[in-house]
Amino acid sequence: MIESVAIVGTGLIGTSIGLALRRAGFDGEIVGVDAKGDEAAMAVSMGACDRVGAFDDVWKCDVVVLAVPVLTILDFLGRLAPLMGPDQLITDVGSTKLQIFEMVRSLRGNEVRVRMLPGHPMAGKESGGAELGDAGLFEGAMWLFTPAEEEWDVEREWREWVTRFGARTMDMDARRHDQVCAWVSHLPQMVATAMAAMYEDEFGAEPEIAAEFQAIGGRALREMTRLGASPYSMWRDVAMSNTEPLAATLFALEQRLQHLREGLRTPELREEFRLANAFRARK
């Protein structure tokens, strides 16, 4: 029976998890920790946590949710695991899973007794921070898990809470997770970043022209660059921990754009639109 939860990293996702727990009826204690004291205080003021905690509060909780960038997750895993016991659970929300999965496996091999369940909710916003936290953020979203061991009680209970947040869950192989996410999540992010950066280079030196171009571009331009607002701090860790799969999708898109460019006045363009229409016609 989970009676206390520590949320490490009370940014957008961490704060939303605290709020979602409360809305779903969790009445145990929620402790929030963040390297930025402001963020933890904001999460408390929003009701996502009961109090701001220290490291020594974290490892005593029944469940620890690591809601920080991937490389920081690896760091916390290494520090927390030896302190915790077999009735506790460490889970995370990191964007890549293979390195975390492999570290969990390796910690288990070293007779660490705490149980760990790598996870990844496919939800977010282009801007971060506790103040954007939202109890409904996970409604209808997919929450992926890449289990490293057999399911047990505390894990089962955590999965139930996630379902009560309104999320659907799916288990995946960790390597497969990282490849799929390179295609459907990391590539769209990097394309939006590259496009927004290119526009800034092209038009940014003339603010009036930049403003005019945004007005002219309208919805299509806004949508295709929205993720350009995403923070480097999180995506650096994705790029570091999923470099090869991400580079492969970027290279594939570069070739695809070249093909389209060379075929602008040929029937090849029709074929690209046919395929794109077919993709969008899927449910």
Stretch that binds a copy of itself, among 36-44, 60-68, 104-112, 201-209 (CB under 8 A): 201-209
* Residue 194 binding a copy of itself, by CB under 8 A: yes
**What is the distance, to the nearest Å, from the Cα of residue 253 to the centroid of all Cα atoms in its chain?**
23
Q: How many residues sit close enough to a copy of itself to count as binding (CB under 8 A)?
A: 86
Query: Which residue is associated with the tokens 């093909």?
Result: 259
Residue 208: exposure state from Cβ atoms within 10 A (0-12, 13-18, ≥19): exposed
- The CA–CA distances, whole Å, from 29 to 23, 41, 46, 139 equal 14, 16, 15, 23
Half-sphere exposure of 70 (CA within 13 A, CB side): 24
* Residue 79 binding a copy of itself, by CB under 8 A: no
Positions 226 through 255 that interact with a copy of itself (CB under 8 A): 226-232, 235-236, 239-240, 243, 246-247, 250-254
- Provide the Cα torsion 80, 29, 97, 227; round to 10°: -130
* Residue 128 binding a copy of itself, by CB under 8 A: no
Contact 256, 276 (CB under 8 A): no
CB of 283 to a copy of itself, least distance (A): 6
* Residue 181 binding a copy of itself, by CB under 8 A: yes
Among residues 98 and 191, whose Cβ is nearest to a copy of itself? 191
Residues 6 or more apart whose Cβ sits within 8 Å of residue 112:
81, 82, 84
CB of 143 to a copy of itself, least distance (A): 10
Positions 205 through 224 that interact with a copy of itself (CB under 8 A): 207, 210-218, 220-221, 223-224
Among residues 35 and 184, whose Cβ is nearest to a copy of itself? 184
E strand spans, 93-229: 115-117, 119-121, 142-145, 168-171
* Residue 184 binding a copy of itself, by CB under 8 A: yes
Among residues 24 and 253, whose Cβ is nearest to a copy of itself? 253
Among residues 83 and 180, whose Cβ is nearest to a copy of itself? 180
